[in-house]
Structure 1
Amino acid sequence: MRILIWHVHDSWTRAFVHGRHDYLLPTTADHGPDGLGRASTGEWPSAAREVSSEALADEEVDVVVLQRPHEVELAERWLGGRRPGRDLPAVYVEHSTPAGAIPDTRHPMAGGGVPIVHVTGFNDLLWDCTGTPTTVIEHGIVDPGRRYAGDIERAGMVVNDPVRRGRSVGADLIPALAEGVGADVFGRRVEGLPSCEGLRTYEDLSQEDLHDHLPRRRVYVHLSRWSSLGLSLIEAMHLGMPVVALATAETPVAVPHEAGFVTTRRDEIVPAVRHLMKDPDVAEEAGLIGRRHARRRYGLERFLDEWDDVLRWVAAH
């Protein structure tokens, strides 16, 4: 199949384009959010091909994979009047938890005739998609391999844009963690975090560099209160890192108890990290358990097989 898909979420898209199809990735002159094309870092297969927005009208497309509501109108304009869900088979991927009047938030694509794929069961449970077929395809990861060393006795985190996203990603919890055990925060736009003792930030590392530097930290900490299941958490488990995380959204079913510590108590976060830090053998064993679980539940082949089933169904209907 020839699949039109926008590069919206880097790690998810990277996994998706490792499938058995041809992938058309729109580009624009400014390489803005609607025209990023291929990733500038990381290994993407040659089947993921950039196509300028002006050239899309001449491309044959079998399925459109939508990820943002405005892509319906965008695709119709760029594809020469062919509208996803009417003239072309289409499916919508929902990456995020709902915001607003939870649990009564109506999905913006509900009732529009395009089936919705949620990336977690929690999202499927919370969004009101009445009248629209839905299914769940959990994340898949391109396995970076076990790289855990844990030789730096600090907590490691990956958080993009924590200042703007604030409490939803636990930005307010970072100072206590940094002052208690030392925290290294990796991601985009992390320099704006308030300075405090024990906090270090690392801006815009390539994925390969991140996968080398992050697992040197003794423990991975995931402080997200309200977002979909973070791929950085699943990647950290693939890397073999022990995990301390908040028991919110999908996290309680993604992180087995033996892989670290999952809690709803803010006063338990720092003690849990200290416990893993003081015993490297316990930390390493927890990381091995987490890696085995993550590879089994969030493996790439399972992810691609389930997507093949959905794409075949969408194309046939």
Structure 2
Amino acid sequence: MRILAWHVHAAWMTSFVQGAHEYYVPVLSDRGPDGMGRAQTYPWPDSVRELTPEELRRTDFDVVVLQRPHELELFHRWTGHALGRNGRPAVYVEHNTPRGDVNDWRHPLADRGDIPIVHVTEFNRTMWDNGLAPAEVIEHGVPDYGYQYTGTLDSLVVSINEPVRRSRVAGLDLVATIAEQVPVSVYGLGTEELSARIHRGLAVTGSLSQDELHRRMAMHFAYLHPYRWTSLGLALIEAMTLGMPVLVVAATAAPEAVPPETGVVTSRLDLLARTASRWLSDPDEARRCGLAARAHALAHFGLPRFLDDWDRMLKEVCR
């Protein structure tokens, strides 16, 4: 198939473009949000091709994968074609949990039934009011990055992009509380802003390539997932794939995605901190949890299942 999709979430897109298709990503001269083109720090295959808006107008697509509401208008403006029943086949991937008051959680595509919404977790599908739109779930999938866990660093690690802007959503205050008892390193884009308001026990590291990020993460003795309100973070699944034990705040889809043998899922910060301290004293327990986490991630979030699910979905949409 010839698939058009904007580069919005690099980690998700890295898995998506591993299929046996041709992928087209819009590119603009400034490589801004609507035209980022190919990822610069993620390994994308040669089957991913950049196209300018002018080239998009002259290119035919079998299906368009949307990820933001304004992409419907953007596609029409750039190509002259509509999407859905009276235009090109399309599917909308909903990466995020809804925002605002619970009574306002109606999806932007809820009033049209010709473009299916694919949620990345069952939790997301349950929280959104999908209205007339067919609502499906295709859970995350990640490549097998190999068993890399060493646990040689006596600090937890968390991956948060733009931690200052997303402080409450990402649970940065929860990280700071845990860091009062166990050191925590924060990795991600925009952590430079966090350096100016550093908390005791916190260390920050800025943008890294995906390979380097995984190598550095796996050196810490455990992964901390503090998110309050988000879809299931890919960094959590990647950490499990690397063989890391996990400490997870019991919110959104995490309780369903992380079984007890892989670590601890709880809303009690004292229990997360106590478990971290115990693992520091008992690295064998931490390693056993990490091995269980890796086995679970490969079985439930492996790339083959993810790509098979998407192949079925795209064929159905095109049909």
Which stretch of structure 1 is more off in the superposition, 150-159 or 176-185? 176-185
Distance 2:232 2:224 in 1: 14
Distance 2:299 2:73 in 1: 38
- Is 1:211 matched with 2:214? yes
- How well do the aligned residues superpose, as a CA RMSD in angstroms? 1.0
- Is 1:16 matched with 2:16? yes
In 2 relative to 1, CA 103–153 (structure 1 residues): closer, same or farther, beyond 3 Å? farther
Aligned to 1:140: 141
Correspondence list, 1:91-110, <5 A:
91-102=91-102, 105-110=105-110
Aligned to 1:267: 270
The residue identity in structure 1 corresponding to 2:23 is Y
Aligned to 2:61: 61
Correspondence list, 1:225-236, <5 A:
225-236=228-239
Note if contact 1:246-1:263 (Cα within 8 Å) is conserved in structure 2. Answer: yes
The residue identity in structure 2 corresponding to 1:185 is V
Q: TM-score w.r.t. structure 1 length?
A: 0.97
Which stretch of structure 1 is more off in the superposition, 169-178 or 284-293? 169-178
Aligned to 1:70: 70
Distance 2:2 2:212 in 1: 32
CA offsets, 1:91-113, max 9 Å, x none? 00000011112265100111222
Aligned to 2:315: 312
Q: 1:257 aligns with which of 249, 254, 260?
A: 260
Note if contact 1:103-1:127 (Cα within 8 Å) is conserved in structure 2. Answer: no
Distance 1:28 1:223 in 2: 35
Residue 25 of structure 2: SS of its match in structure 1? strand
Distance 1:55 1:6 in 2: 14
Distance 1:179 1:36 in 2: 39
Residue 155 of structure 2: SS of its match in structure 1? strand
Q: TM-score w.r.t. structure 2 length?
A: 0.97
The residue identity in structure 2 corresponding to 1:47 is S
CA offsets, 1:149-170, max 9 Å, x none? 0001110110111111111110
Note if contact 2:111-2:132 (Cα within 8 Å) is conserved in structure 1. Answer: yes
Correspondence list, 1:1-317, <5 A:
1-79=1-79, 81-85=80-84, 86-102=86-102, 105-112=105-112, 113-193=114-194, 194-316=197-319
The residue identity in structure 2 corresponding to 1:272 is T
Point out where structure 2 has 5 or more consecutive residues left out of the alignment. none
Point out where structure 1 has 5 or more consecutive residues left out of the alignment. none
The residue identity in structure 2 corresponding to 1:54 is E
In 2 relative to 1, CA 272–105 (structure 1 residues): closer, same or farther, beyond 3 Å? same
Question: What is the Cα deviation at residue 192 of structure 1?
Answer: 2.3
The residue identity in structure 2 corresponding to 1:222 is H
Residue 270 of structure 2: SS of its match in structure 1? helix
The residue identity in structure 2 corresponding to 1:215 is A
Identity of aligned residues (%): 48
Distance 1:310 1:21 in 2: 14
Question: What is the Cα deviation at residue 293 of structure 1?
Answer: 0.3
The residue identity in structure 1 corresponding to 2:198 is S
Distance 1:71 1:233 in 2: 28
CA offsets, 1:9-34, max 9 Å, x none? 01100100001110001100100011
Distance 1:43 1:175 in 2: 33
Which stretch of structure 1 is more off in the superposition, 89-98 or 106-115? 106-115
Distance 1:252 1:179 in 2: 25
CA offsets, 1:104-159, max 9 Å, x none? 51001112221100000000001000211111000010111110000011101101
Residue 110 of structure 2: SS of its match in structure 1? coil
The residue identity in structure 2 corresponding to 1:254 is A
Question: What is the Cα deviation at residue 280 of structure 1?
Answer: 0.6
CA offsets, 1:173-197, max 9 Å, x none? 1222222111110001112222122
The residue identity in structure 1 corresponding to 2:202 is L
